[in-house]
Amino acid sequence: MVLEVAEIKVTPGQEDAFKKAYRSVREVVRVSPGLRSMRMTQGVENPSRFVLLIEWDSVEAHEQGFRETDRFPKWREAIGPFFAEPPFVEHFADVD
């Protein structure tokens, strides 16, 4: 299992519109093979900062099972207009 962590900075003043867009399109991601769980969080001190946390079976499940499909452009089209800058995305593995 890997954890995708995506830091998303939204243009100030667009937070509510971003959350609405996310809610309308999240199912596009959730149906991806290899996705185990998904949640979006919003900063308390900095409400324009969001962190998306997705557990995948593997990095390949994320990249091939979602990013290389027709679902990814739909996802970006819905939420991308609210980005203040490109998201910073990394994958993490549990430490035993």
Q: Domain containing 7: what range?
A: 2-92
Task: Say if CB 56 and CB 34 are below 8 A apart.
Answer: yes
The set of residues, in sequence order, having a beta carbon less than 8 Å from that of 35 and lying 6+ positions away, is 29, 54, 55, 56, 57, 61, 65, 66
Sign of the C-alpha dihedral computed for residues 59, 17, 71 and 35 taken in this order: positive
Instruction: Over range 4-15, report the average pLDDT.
Output: 98
Give 34-77 pLDDT, tens digit per residue: 999 999 999 999 999 999 999 999 999 999 999 999 999 999 99
Q: Based on the structure, what is the number of domains in the chain?
A: 1
Give 15-25 pLDDT, tens digit per residue: 999 999 999 99
pLDDT of residue 66: 96
Neighbours of 27 (CB within 10 A): 10
pLDDT of residue 30: 96
CATH (domain of 30): 3.30.70.100
CA distance 16 to 27: 18
pLDDT classification of 81: cutoffs 50, 70, 90 = very high
